[in-house]
Amino acid sequence: GPVPDMGPYPINGSRTMFGSEPIEVQAMGFKHSHPDLKMEYDTVSVHMRFPEERVASFVVGFATVLTTYYRIVGTKGEIIVDPSYNFDKAVSYTTRFGEGGDEEKTKNFPKVDQFGGETEYFSDCILKNVEPEPNGEEGLMDVRVVYAIKKSLETGKPVKLEPRNRIRHAQMDQLRSVSFGKPPKQKDVIGRDSEKPAVDATPDTR
């Protein structure tokens, strides 16, 4: 379904923004009549409760037009990131403050190769013998929320999570900005699709 596929993006984003771990999860699943969507739920709505009375909500699904954005709403204004989770588009965010969002500013960032940046960071960790910040524990923190969502869908009830606290969080010194390189020429590509059919070298024994 959509939760294991797309859920980790808003789950991890919410955990990162709040700097804490959810303590309760509730989910609702929906099934549409599209013949190609052969799954129990093709759309899932999730609410996550965090410490200090904070809440994060998201909807993931396969039945609607593709859209990826998130909005952070506080007591003095809001931040809108649209698009947000696409790896092939430039990112920008808009801040709105004041009554009715009168004070609005937008900041744009250049398009970068996200996978290239991740690879460079992990390579640095290997060369310097340093444990990456997004380690196995970080992955488990997302997985336990995905599992709680699954349980909530099965029972139709909220699922409480054991309070957890990660000491390590993402830091600016992890940032790596890698520009997109030029795509390789076909003659330089090595792989199954680039190889010519093998010549049958079996000798003729007739």
| End-to-end CA separation in angstroms for the chain | 57
User: Would you say residue 199 lies in a domain?
Assistant: no
Our count of domains for the chain comes to 1
Query: Which residue, 77, 71, 81, 84, is CA-closest to 6?
Result: 84
pTM beyond cutoff 0.85: no
**Which tens digits make up the pLDDT trace of 167-196?**
888 888 888 888 877 777 887 777 655 555
Domain of residue 116: give its range.
2-163
Task: Report the CATH number at residue 139.
Answer: 3.30.360.10
Under-50 pLDDT residues of the chain: 201, 206
205 located within any domain: no
Whether residue 200 lies inside any domain: the answer is: no
Q: Is residue 71, in this structure, part of any structural domain at all?
A: yes
- High-pLDDT (> 90) share of the chain, %: 56
Task: Give the mean pLDDT of the chain.
Answer: 87
Cβ atoms of residues 62 and 36 within 8 Å: no
